[in-house]
Structure 1
Amino acid sequence: MSIPNFIKNIFLLLLIYPQISFCQVKQNQPYNVLFIAVDDLRTELNCYGATHIKSPNIDRLANNGVKFTNAHVQQAICMASRASIMSGIRPEKRGIYTGESVTDVLPNVLTINKFFEQNGYNIASSGKIYHYPEDTKEQFGNTYINPTATWKGKGYVTKESLEIFKKFKEGPAYEAADVHDTIYPDGINTLNAMRKLEVLKKENKPFFMAVGLLKPHLPFNAPKKYWDMYPESSIKLSELTERPENSSKYTLRVKGELTNYPGMPGSFKEIPDSTAINLRRGYYASVSYIDAQVGNLLNKLEELGLRENTIVVLWGDHGYKLGDYGSWCKWSNMNIDTNIPFIFNVPNGVKGETYTHPVEALDIYPTLAQLCQLKQPTHIEGKSLVSILKNPKKEPKTKAYAYSVWPDERWNYEKTVMGYSVTDDQYNYVEWVQLKTGEVVERELYDHKKDPKETKNVIADGQYRNVISELAGKVKLKKEATDHHHNFKNVKSN
């Protein structure tokens, strides 16, 4: 056979069998999956345009795959976001939006890790994948690697922090200890995952290895060397000091969990600039700390010869506000909270590409299933991104949307006001709906082309009448699909 005919036959094979993805013609082994979850990671990364952030390893991941800049979680809070991603079900279903455990709200669902296990994969996890310990135990059992703690509480190691922890049962909001990476949880969890990769390589089965990095979630604790990357004089305060103009009382919360830490101002008290600078510096240090752990994982894959047969996906469970709009938490439908870093690396796939149209974190499950040539479960609600991963430059045939919800008073159905958000290439539209009655009590619209930081709600501007009509139609479908008959309506009464 001549070389031209050989090439022609390969091309015909790809046409006849479109499900064969990337290098599957050359390889007979199924793909492995390295599944990296990062807590509270906003898109303030060098590869996302934030040149003041030192994130060379996540940048490396982006340079070797496809980076999604308009990716959104379906609820900007750890519990519900992760439950939705891992189950493949939107949080307005089955009471997921209340933030209760997967074990409680979804006892019989086939989660992504169980799906891979059911399909013959070895599974393992290290760090935070599910929010609740009972879910980790139920989902991973003895394949979860429990670290030996060298810290107290949420990761305190210095004498000063331990004294505060002993007195208040909670440590400070940030800490910089001159210690090795593995003295803090993310370092030891990453080391344990690297050791597990060595074991998995020796077994004659594909694997699904889930690694959950806790930082940059509060408290902002990281080894001193990462703090040293960000001199105090280099830290700038947020330029977004005010709530969005014309925003509703449901739009934002103020300080959230930050108020739980000793020395932090209460919910409606101003945070001094010096404290805000230290908090932002600690967040940046934590980002560089987890970036180093991502680098360790990538290096280990290469060292073990696994890189060319392992899909790597990195995702954040939601964004975070660092004084933006006067707020220090997530918990909203604002773009700063729903928009996440989202990167896919596929062996022999396209490299260094960026996709700017909306996608959802919910899409991870079906995408991994198709990449690994496994039959997708019928219950999952996301869409596969494989065609995008093959050709990110191709415009979508139909307009894309991403959906998110935020429930005010989520534990008391009698009072719950659900914020339904839909994002397209230009707008973020939100309807706040009294769940019990269906009454729309507030609406918001943000024009990202004119106002990318969402500083003004333009819902009353007549020029957007057609846009509002279109997006309200999309939200209507999500409202109609919401489950009202679940067992978690009155978890807490206020």
Structure 2
Amino acid sequence: MKRPNILFIMADQMAAPLLPIHDPASPIKMPNLVRLAETGVVFDSAYCNSPLCAPSRFTLVSGQLPSKIGAYDNAADFPGDVPTYAHYLRSLGYHTALSGKMHFCGPDQLHGYEERLTSDIYPADYGWAVNWDAPEERLSWYHNMSSVLQAGPTVRTNQLDFDEEVVFKAQQYLYNHVRENAEQPFCLTVSMTHPHDPYCIPEEFWNLYRDEDIPLPGVNIDQQDLDLHSQRILKVIDLWGKELPAEKIRDARRAYFGACSYIDANIGKLLKTLGDCGLAEDTIIVFSGDHGDMLGERGLWYKMHWFEMAARVPFVVHAPRQFAAHRVSQSMSTADLLPTLVELAGGTLDPSLPLDGRSLLPHLQGSGGHDEVLGEYMGEGTNSPLMMIRRGDWKFIYCEQDPLLLFNVANDPHELENLAQSPEHQGLLAEFLADARQRWDIPAIHQATLASQRRRRFVAEALTKGKLKSWDHQPMVDASQQYMRNHIDLDDLERRARYPRP
């Protein structure tokens, strides 16, 4: 029996709490995702394992927590010997392909994918390494507020160029699959970079909304009253001691909503191509993301914290022939993707290989499953590991250098009441703290993070001297095998290129 095809679609920096699949009152227009969710399994409490692009993605593809694989920040080297879902599926006979962003850093730009259809949008070198040795120094490549202050409609951007290529190459991959290799199962990952800032989008999507449709942030906290990590983030993004004009906050959110609709339009293109190619019935579709965006809530922007807007991601599995449509309330994470895909493909996990993620098959079958997420953050804005445990109704945020944070997310979805100082919650707090200290050797992780940063900063500086040898992926195209060429019979060429074949 042929194994199912897998289409994994990713968005970048898409905040799950705002989406219409989670909030019926959401003004964001995403009809294709809504239709996919209506006949799929929707995870209402899905989290990233690190609220930063590269660490989240390294965990997503490997099923291992960032500290286990050195995924400390956006310039961390992802070792080539870490097994990924692409390695597993390839060993099961799948053709594995990636179209778009995965933010791999280091000389291995494949990590088990047999083919990358595009380059990455971000650099593959160590130039964005964080520096805990100088925590007060604001590095030039850090986010600033230009994304908000320059928000609005646009004709073209770097990210539009990239996502247009990502979707086009993915569609071509599907066309080529049915024309050339229909018997082999595929796992195609399509990873777009919207709605990640900068907050600008073409008028076609900007004009789906009006200013009056765009709610301003609902949670506003004075900067001096924020937790210490939030205060450090404001310094990282150059917003400490400053205010943003309300009209620019609205513009940024309007562009972000438009970018979500742009992603939805691209989901529609991919779904149509699946249908046109006769692949819809035999393809499992997964939609998710790498982290969210604070979008001005609590006065914060971008990600880098464990609050719901930054840490929660969409997660939908569409396989209606296998799983009845339903919603899952238990908390899970993108680390669970690898074991889930392996089981959906009919494979088995190697018990001798390390793995932190857990299969979502019980959730998909409606028979229960785990209700816990572990998260780690060692990136910019902190100078000590910032860990998170989400279990049941509770979220515990733990840093040895900061006051503890404890929220009942069920009763307090906006995380306004820190219960860590509540006398009646001291027993629960002590349990979480003991659990965290048992799970994580913070001094060891701290020293490993510093050592990695120092190595990478040294290597990055050395490699700027002399001849540059880029690690960026260079997709190769053999034009001699495209379109009409004299070494192929014209009738045969046209017949092979046509689908369905005459």
Structure 1 length normalisation: TM-score?
Answer: 0.78
Cα distance per residue 1:295-327 (max 9 Å; x no partner)? 111121122111111111111100111111111
CA separation of 1:133/1:305 partners in 2, compared to 1, >3 Å: closer, same or farther? farther
Task: State whether residues 254 and 329 of structure 1, in contact with CA within 8 Å, keep that contact through their aligned partners in structure 2.
Answer: no
In the alignment, does 2:384 pair up with 1:417?
Answer: yes
- Which residue in 2 is equivalent to 1:488? 452
Task: State whether residues 80 and 108 of structure 2, in contact with CA within 8 Å, keep that contact through their aligned partners in structure 1.
Answer: no
Task: State whether residues 304 and 379 of structure 2, in contact with CA within 8 Å, keep that contact through their aligned partners in structure 1.
Answer: no
Task: Specify the SS of the correspondent of 1:281.
Answer: helix
- Which residue in 1 is equivalent to 2:162? 185
Match runs of 1:137-286 below 5 Å: 140=113, 142-146=115-119, 173-177=150-154, 184-201=161-178, 202-203=180-181, 204-242=183-221, 247-251=226-230, 253-255=232-234, 266-286=239-259
Offset at 1:34? 0.6
In the alignment, does 2:21 pair up with 1:47?
Answer: yes
- Which residue in 1 is equivalent to 2:39? 64
Candidates 460, 463, 473, aligned match of 2:421: 460
Unmatched segments (≥5 aa) in structure 2: 122-145, 459-502
Match runs of 1:62-461 below 5 Å: 62-101=37-76, 104-132=77-105, 134-136=107-109, 140=113, 142-146=115-119, 173-177=150-154, 184-201=161-178, 202-203=180-181, 204-242=183-221, 247-251=226-230, 253-255=232-234, 266-377=239-350, 378-391=353-366, 394-396=367-369, 400-407=371-378, 416-433=383-400, 441-461=402-422
CA separation of 1:250/1:379 partners in 2, compared to 1, >3 Å: closer, same or farther? same
Task: State whether residues 180 and 223 of structure 1, in contact with CA within 8 Å, keep that contact through their aligned partners in structure 2.
Answer: no
Task: Give the aligned residue type for 1:402.
Answer: V
Percent of aligned positions that are identical: 24
- Which residue in 2 is equivalent to 1:262? none
CA–CA distance in structure 1, aligned partners of residues 272 and 216 of structure 2: 35
Residue-pair matches, total: 423
CA separation of 1:371/1:428 partners in 2, compared to 1, >3 Å: closer, same or farther? same
Structure 1 runs of 4+ with >6 Å offset: 179-183
Task: State whether residues 338 and 357 of structure 2, in contact with CA within 8 Å, keep that contact through their aligned partners in structure 1.
Answer: yes
Offset at 1:256? 7.4
Unmatched segments (≥5 aa) in structure 1: 1-27, 149-169, 260-265, 435-440
In the alignment, does 2:432 pair up with 1:471?
Answer: yes
Offset at 1:274? 0.9
Offset at 1:95? 2.4
Cα distance per residue 1:395-440 (max 9 Å; x no partner)? 44xx621111223658xxxx83112111122111111125xxxxxx
Structure 2 length normalisation: TM-score?
Answer: 0.77
Task: State whether residues 181 and 188 of structure 1, in contact with CA within 8 Å, keep that contact through their aligned partners in structure 2.
Answer: no
Task: Specify the SS of the correspondent of 2:399.
Answer: strand
Task: Specify the SS of the correspondent of 1:97.
Answer: coil
Offset at 1:356? 0.7
CA separation of 1:351/1:224 partners in 2, compared to 1, >3 Å: closer, same or farther? farther
CA separation of 1:254/1:96 partners in 2, compared to 1, >3 Å: closer, same or farther? closer
CA separation of 1:131/1:215 partners in 2, compared to 1, >3 Å: closer, same or farther? farther
Task: State whether residues 247 and 456 of structure 1, in contact with CA within 8 Å, keep that contact through their aligned partners in structure 2.
Answer: no
CA separation of 1:480/1:327 partners in 2, compared to 1, >3 Å: closer, same or farther? same
Alignment RMSD (CA, Å): 3.0
Task: Specify the SS of the correspondent of 1:468.
Answer: helix
Cα distance per residue 1:340-361 (max 9 Å; x no partner)? 1111112513343110111111
